[in-house]
Amino acid sequence: MAEGLPALGWAARDVSGHLSPYSFSRSVPKDDDVTIKVLFCGICHTDLHIIKNDWGNALYPIVPGHEIVGVVTAVGPGVKTFKAGDTVGVGYFLDSCRTCYSCGKGYENYCSTLVLTSNGVDGDGATTQGGFSDVLIVNKDYVLHVPDTLPLPGAAPLLCAGVTVYSPMVQYGLNAPGKHLGVVGLGGLGHVAVKFGKAFGMTVTVISTSERKRQEALDRLGADAFLVSNDPDQMKAAAGTMDGIIDTVSAGHPIVPLLDLLRPMGQMVVVGAPSKPMELPAFAIIGGGKRIAGNGTGSVADCQTMLDFAGKHGITADVEVVKMDYVNTAIERLERNDVRYRFVIDVAGSHLQADAA
């Protein structure tokens, strides 16, 4: 029997979330698989929740990472769309059932048996290990072409943060030139939403709880306006002016004041995931026929379209590149939101070593 491909990564082994060197084996490549040398991998808030078992579903040991950019080193005989040397990406998931309603409609990101890139269970019953490692093996249908025009460190977070905001903007028509978009929160998701909104030709207002990020939003990211949500006068003056809102905040916050900013028939999309339930009085959406939707990442097609759009318009995430041996410090800083706006691990430039075992 053929042996799996040896891999080196960094893994969490318990709820402390502390990462350390870890040796493991990837699966034996199949005819339709693409073997990828990992170059860069973003650090997402989801990684933080998973390694600390915040959601109660940790499958230790866990190699996190689902914002992956790398180079193809080998392809199976059934692969015609990729070749060795291609620059590629892998996002939040790397397989789905392909037969359910969601998969049939082209939004496999909502498949009930979605196989996550990290901390998932694949078709063979093995736990999936993510991109905080040197090599990845993925079915060709879940691999993405990364445009040559994009700097790779800044492209990596697009595989999760980018598609998470891009997909609903397109789906709900929040990509039309001249429309007014509100972006709640200026973090890893929010700053990319601003960039996409401006590239679509929209008027973009950043909504934040304080004045602290005003200059950043207006002068550096190019937002048209900045609104302090804790200022009643500012909120009243902006009421009924927005066609849509992308809410990226993962901490608990009131949403009724945000709904007041929408025009009649306006659309709010929630992409942040606060742990506490929302408080939503019915009158807040009945009056004005306002709508709320959620969004979880995007399909493979959405992600490829997003990458192509980003390549055309030069859109990348703002990142701080670190080596793997800095990853635990980076995670501690991420917990304090002490990053602008995404940590990205230079995996290929890190010295990965076998674990003590």
What average pLDDT does the segment 165-187 reach? 97
| 66-85 confidence digits (pLDDT tens) | 999 999 999 999 999 999 99
The rounded distance, in Å, linking the Cα atoms of 41 and 319 is: 11
Whether the per-residue pLDDT at 65 is higher than 70: the answer is: yes
**What gap in Å lies between CA 9 and CA 86, rounded to an integer?**
22
The helix (run of H) or strand (run of E) holding residue 7 is strand 6-12
Question: Which residue intervals of 200-337 are DSSP H helices?
Answer: 214-215, 232-238, 256-259, 283-286, 300-313, 327-335
Question: What pLDDT is recorded for position 96?
Answer: 97
What's the pLDDT score for residue 274? 81
Q: Output the six-digit token pair for 82.
A: 């990729």
Residues 247-254 have a mean pLDDT of 92
Q: Are 16 and 70 contacting, i.e. CB atoms less than 8 angstroms apart?
A: no
Q: For 23-44, how does the pLDDT look when each residue is reduced to its tens digit (9 = 90+)?
A: 999 999 999 999 999 999 999 9
Cα separation, 117 vs 94, in Å, equals 5
Average pLDDT, the chain: 96
Buried-exposed string 58-80: b where 16+ CB fall within 10 A, e elsewhere: beebbbbbbbbbbbbebbbeebe
pLDDT above 90 covers a percentage of the chain that reads 92
pLDDT band at 150 (very low <50, low <70, confident <90, very high): very high
pLDDT at 3 over 90: no
Confidence band of 275 (pLDDT split at 50, 70, 90): confident
Q: Which whole number is the average pLDDT over 249-262?
A: 94
Classify residue 157 as exposed, middle or buried by CB count within 10 Å of its CB (0-12, 13-18, 19+): buried
**317, 9, 324: which is closest to 157 by C-alpha?**
317
pLDDT tens by residue, 84-128: 999 999 999 999 999 999 999 999 999 999 999 999 999 999 999
pLDDT at 2: 65
Amino acid 170: pLDDT: 97
pLDDT at 356: 58
Give me the mean pLDDT over the 246-256 stretch: 93
User: Which residues on neighbouring strands pair with residue 269, listed in sequence order?
Assistant: 246, 293
Query: Average pLDDT for residues 156-184, to the nearest whole number?
Result: 97
Show the DSSP H helices in 52-189 as ranges.
101-105, 152-155, 161-171
Alpha-carbon span 337 to 22, nearest angstrom: 27
Q: pLDDT tens across 313-336, in order?
A: 999 999 999 999 999 999 999 999
**CA-to-CA dists, residue 140 to 74, 277, 298, angstroms:** 11, 38, 17
How does DSSP classify residue 217? Answer: I
Is a pLDDT exceeding 70 seen at residue 357?
no
- The residue assigned the tokens 């701080």 is 320
- Tokens standing for 85? 């040397």
The pLDDT-based confidence of 49 (bands split at 50, 70, 90) is: very high
Q: How far is CA 83 from the centre of its chain?
A: 26
Number of neighbouring beta carbons within 10 Å of residue 26: 20
Distance of CA 140 to the CA centre of its chain: 20
pLDDT of residue 71: 98
